[in-house]
Amino acid sequence: MTTTPDDDEVNVNAFLAEYYSDVLDCGHRRAEPTHFHANGIPMTAGYAEMSDGRRVCYACADDLQRGAMVQNTEITAYLSSDGEHITTWTGGELAKVISLGSATTGFGGSEITFVRAVSPDGREWYGRNGGKGMSVRLKAVK
């Protein structure tokens, strides 16, 4: 099977038409793509997929994670690259970091970062990870 450049162009246009007209499960549209492959196809899907398979926009994904944080005592989030915030993977703020520390532990001498943060509902969270810009599992402090 061979494809001519014309066919590729049609496929890309059809893909982009669907990309921009598709309404997600939350009722919003996908995020504007910022990076494209050489053939013009966006590198990112422009939506977040929930564990139940629903496709939602980034803002709704952030809201859902904030809601989940209120109801749960354990979450997985990210420590921002400046070390001042706990965020969703799209960068939506979940909590403010109130203290950050690090220690070198273990036989290999790997560095562990200790994080303490406070969420908008006033609860304190504690976790440790590999450093700024990395994912962190937080537990609510009783």
List 30, 46, 55, 60, residue binding Zn ion (CB under 5 A): 60
Per-residue string for binding with Zn ion, 81-120, x by CB under 5 A?
----------------------------------------
- Candidates 1-9, 21-29, 93-101, 106-114: pick the segment binding Zn ion (CB under 5 A): 21-29
List 11, 15, 16, 28, residue binding Zn ion (CB under 5 A): 28
SS (H, E, C) 12-64: HHHHHHHHHHCECCCCCECCCCCCECCCCCECCCCCEECCCCCEECHHHHHHH
The answer to whether 60 touches 51, Cβ cutoff 8 Å, is no
Residue 26 interacting with Zn ion (CB under 5 A): yes
Q: The tokens 């703020």 sit on which residue?
A: 93
Q: Collapse the DSSP code of 81 into the 3-class scheme (helix H, G, I; strand E, B; otherwise coil) and give the result.
A: coil
List 47, 48, 57, 79, residue binding Zn ion (CB under 5 A): 57
- Can you give the binding site for Zn ion, defined by CB under 5 A? 26, 28, 57, 60
